[in-house]
Chain A
Amino acid sequence: MVSVWFTGLFVVPVVGGLASTAVRSSGRGSQSRSLAVVTACLAAVCAAVLAFSAEREVHLGTWWPGTGAMSLHTGGVGGYAALATSIVAVAAVADQRIVRRYTILVVMVALAAANVAFYAGHFLLRYVALEVVALSVAAAPLIEAGGAEGTRNARLAYVLLRVGDVGLLSAILLLMDASGTLDIATALSAAPGLDPAWLAWVAAGMTLAAWVKIGVWPLALWKRARRSLSPLTGMWLYDVVVPNLGLYLLYRTSSLIASSTPLRWLIFASAGVSGVLGIARMVLRRQIEPEFGSLLGAVALCCAALDQGTFVAALLLAGTAARVVFALSAHREIEDLGAVRGPAFYPRGSAVGRWLGALVGKPRDAVESEAPGGGSAGLWRPIETAAELLDRVVEHDVLEQGIAWLWRSIESVAALIHRAVERDLLDQGIAWLGRWTQSAAEAMHRAMERDLLDQGIAWLGRRTQSAAAAMHHAIEREGFERFIREVAQTVNAAGRVLQRWHTGRLRANLRWALAALLIAVVAFSLWGW
Chain B
Amino acid sequence: MWPDICLVLVLAIPIVVAVVLAVFRRVFVRAAGAIAAGAAVLSLCAAIVLMPELSAGRSPAVALGVRPMPGVDLSLRLDWVSLPFLLTEIVVTLLAVVYGWGYHRPRANTPLFYALLLVFGAGMSGTTIADDTVLFYTFWELMLVASVALILVWGDEPPGGPRRQAVAFKYAIFTHLGSLMVLVALLILHDAAGHDSFSVLRQGVTLSPGLTTTLITLFLLGFGVKMAVFPLHIWLPDAHTVAPMPVTIMLAAAMLSMGIYGILRFPMSMFPIESLAPFSAPMMVVGVISEIYGALMALAERDVKRIIAYSSVSQMGYILFGLGTLNADGIVGGTLHVIYHAIVKALLFAVVGIIIHTTRRRRLEQLGGLGRLLPVTAACAAVGILAISGVPLLCVFVSEWMIFAGGFHTGRVALSIASLFGSLLTVAYALWFGSQVFLGIQREEVEMLRAPRAMVVPTVVLAVLAIAAGLFPGPVIGWVTKELSILLGGIG
> Residues of B contacting A151 with CB < 8 Å?
435, 439-440
Q: Is B352 an interface residue (CB 8 A)?
A: no
Q: Considering the chains assembled together, what is the distance between the CA atoms of A339 and B463 in angstroms? A: 36
Q: Is A176 an interface residue (CB 8 A)?
A: yes
Q: Is A400 an interface residue (CB 8 A)?
A: no
Q: Which of A165-193 contact B (CB under 8 A)?
A: 166, 169-170, 173-174, 176-177
* Known pairs A127-B392, A151-B440, A173-B405; A166 contacts B421 (CB<8 A): yes
Chain B residue with Cβ nearest A129: B392
> Residues of A contacting B409 with CB < 8 Å?
177
Whether B391 contacts A65 by the Cβ 8 Å rule is: no
* Known pairs A131-B392, A132-B392; A411 contacts B299 (CB<8 A): yes
Q: How large is the interface on A (under 10, 10 to 19, 20 to 34, 35 or more residues)?
A: 35 or more
Q: Is A63 an interface residue (CB 8 A)?
A: yes
Q: Considering the chains assembled together, what is the distance between the CA atoms of A187 and B293 in angstroms? A: 34
* Known pairs A198-B413, A414-B300; A173 contacts B408 (CB<8 A): yes
Binary contact readout B272-310 vs A (1 if CB under 8 angstroms, 0 otherwise): 000000000000000000000100110111000000000
Whether A414 contacts B416 by the Cβ 8 Å rule is: no
Whether B296 contacts A430 by the Cβ 8 Å rule is: no
**How near does chain B come to A368, taking the closest CB pair, in angstroms?**
42
* Known pairs A166-B424, A426-B231; A417 contacts B439 (CB<8 A): no
Q: Considering the chains assembled together, what is the distance between the CA atoms of A176 and B416 in angstroms? A: 14
Binary contact readout B148-180 vs A (1 if CB under 8 angstroms, 0 otherwise): 000000000000000000000010000000000
Q: Is B423 an interface residue (CB 8 A)?
A: yes
Q: Considering the chains assembled together, what is the distance between the CA atoms of A131 and B393 in angstroms? A: 10
Residue in A64, A131, A158, A422 whose CB lies within 8 Å of B477: A64
Q: Is B404 an interface residue (CB 8 A)?
A: yes
Whether B296 contacts A131 by the Cβ 8 Å rule is: no
Q: Considering the chains assembled together, what is the distance between the CA atoms of A64 and B428 in angstroms? A: 28
> Residues of A contacting B428 with CB < 8 Å?
159, 410
Q: Which of A58-89 contact B (CB under 8 A)?
A: 62-66
**How near does chain A come to B338, taking the closest CB pair, in angstroms?**
17
**How near does chain B come to A146, taking the closest CB pair, in angstroms?**
8
Chain A residue with Cβ nearest B162: A427
Chain A residue with Cβ nearest B389: A162
Q: Is B417 an interface residue (CB 8 A)?
A: yes
Q: Considering the chains assembled together, what is the distance between the CA atoms of A142 and B438 in angstroms? A: 12
Report which residue of A142, A148, A177, A413 has the largest number of chain B beta carbons within 10 angstroms of its beta carbon: A177
Whether A417 contacts B405 by the Cβ 8 Å rule is: no
Q: Is A351 an interface residue (CB 8 A)?
A: no
Q: Considering the chains assembled together, what is the distance between the CA atoms of A410 and B237 in angstroms? A: 21
> Residues of A contacting B413 with CB < 8 Å?
174, 197-198, 201
What are 30 A-B contacts with C-beta separation under 8 Å?
A62-B474, A65-B477, A66-B477, A131-B391, A132-B392, A142-B439, A151-B440, A154-B435, A155-B431, A155-B432, A155-B435, A158-B427, A159-B427, A162-B389, A166-B423, A166-B424, A169-B420, A173-B420, A174-B413, A177-B408, A197-B413, A410-B296, A410-B428, A413-B296, A415-B300, A417-B293, A418-B296, A418-B297, A418-B300, A427-B234
Residues of B within 8 A of A (CB): 170, 231, 234, 237, 293, 296-297, 299-301, 329, 386, 389, 391-393, 398, 401-402, 404-405, 407-409, 413, 416-417, 420-421, 423-425, 427-428, 431-432, 435, 439-441, 473-474, 477-478, 481
Residues of A within 8 A of B (CB): 62-66, 124, 127-128, 131-132, 135, 142, 147-148, 151, 154-155, 158-159, 162-163, 166, 169-170, 173-174, 176-177, 197-198, 201, 410-411, 413-415, 417-418, 421-422, 426-427, 430
